[in-house]
Structure 1
Amino acid sequence: MTLDFGAVMTGQFGQMIVDGAVVTLELALGSWLLAMFIALLLVVVRLTHKRSAVFLVQAYVSYHRNVPTLVQLMMWYFAIPTLLPESTQMWINDFNAEFLFSLFALGLCQAAYFSEDIRSGLRAIPDGQNEAARALGMGYVRAMRSVILPQGLRNALPSLLNHTVLLFKNTSLAMVIGVAELTYVTRDIENKTFRTFESYLVASVGYLFFSLLLMAAGALLARHFQRAYAR
């Protein structure tokens, strides 16, 4: 069989690949922002050392780290909407329900991993840093924002980068609920052209390219922090 990559990369099918890649990037970025925001909240709540708050955070992390991401996606798309009023369901459907539920599911799931990464980074900070911030008259929130969290994020950068790449790859799971991301359109192209090898090779190269780009950006960021810390 002769390979023909032009059959899956030009014309209508080429545009489908571009559109799918854009949806993948939008989903990855949206869920990453949601995950980071929730992760920071979880870390701050956990550091209060209140028993009830710590228990709730531990329960959240345990659920999202031990239930498969695919199951969480299907829970959000098929199960949770049944608990909402019909008017709310219709409103969500008008705003691309598949994409929104995928974003929520991936963001909430990844927040559990991000929070543990950041917590590990914070544990590597000497206690004297917090005591010094308090001695300068900083309250808990200001000390966390200006002194503790920046150092914790720098320490957690390698783990955060690994889980960011994992999040990007997990966007492919959204195809099961009909999100037209890269994997979804690749399967559609393969069904229409019967060019199985070419279709999935193009998708594989696309995922590899963006994953390596994320890793390169993370390496540059880590190098920047190292230079800043050395000063």
Structure 2
Amino acid sequence: MRPVERGNSPQAHDYENYRDAFPGLVSRLGAYCTYCERRIPTMLAVEHIQPKGLPQYAALIGQWDNFLLGCVNCNSTKKDQDVSLEHVLLPDRDNTAAAFAYTSGGEVVPAHGLTAAQQQMAAHTLALCGLDKGPSEVTDENGRIVAIDRYAQRMEVWGQALTSKADLAQSPTEGMRRMIVKLAQATGFFSIWMQVFDDDVQMRRMLIDGFTREGHFFGFPGTARSCFDANTRPVTPRPANGLAHGSKS
């Protein structure tokens, strides 16, 4: 799960209509679901960390620090669940890059090296938005079982990242690296690209920092750079950014 930094609110007061925060969130974080990491060019929505459907959080409906971006799948699973911030690991306040691992088989799992308490928090987070679920299966016109939805998309992007890595080995140029970052931007799943290029600091730095040597923005907007050291390894715990119950990983 990509750790993000949304920054301070673009306005001095809360939003009367929370939907008005959407352009600012997309500008800063990109058109990606904060939870599943898919690029969502349409049907992406302002997601309330503490759900707007629960009366006790009515005061947070228009509050910038309660907003992330969510796809239909993650939002519909999360729904009006009461989120206990001290019991989950969230991309805006924890270093989720250190908390979750991705597999070539499409799974998202708690990362190795977590404490027992962190493992439980990671598991709660995955369950919160349905990322702990296996693939949905349907039968195609030839009677074959095929996987669909987020699970299958992760497997597909893993394959694209592996192919890109092989292409880079054949043509190790700056231009090829830029093309790979563009493909990563187009597909989403920042964490998968980071994991496949685990041994390539330069590639990972381009995905994190988003700047080429010429100074042009190029990577994933809104990635929390403070969550990674100079060698692109996750920094734990995440440096505090003033949000409640943060820095748990």
TM-score (norm 1): 0.25
TM-score (norm 2): 0.24
Greater RCO, 1 or 2 (C-alpha within 8 Å, sep 6+): 1
Which structure: greater strand fraction? 2
Computing the radius of gyration from Cα coordinates, the structure with the larger value is: 1
Which structure: greater helix fraction? 1
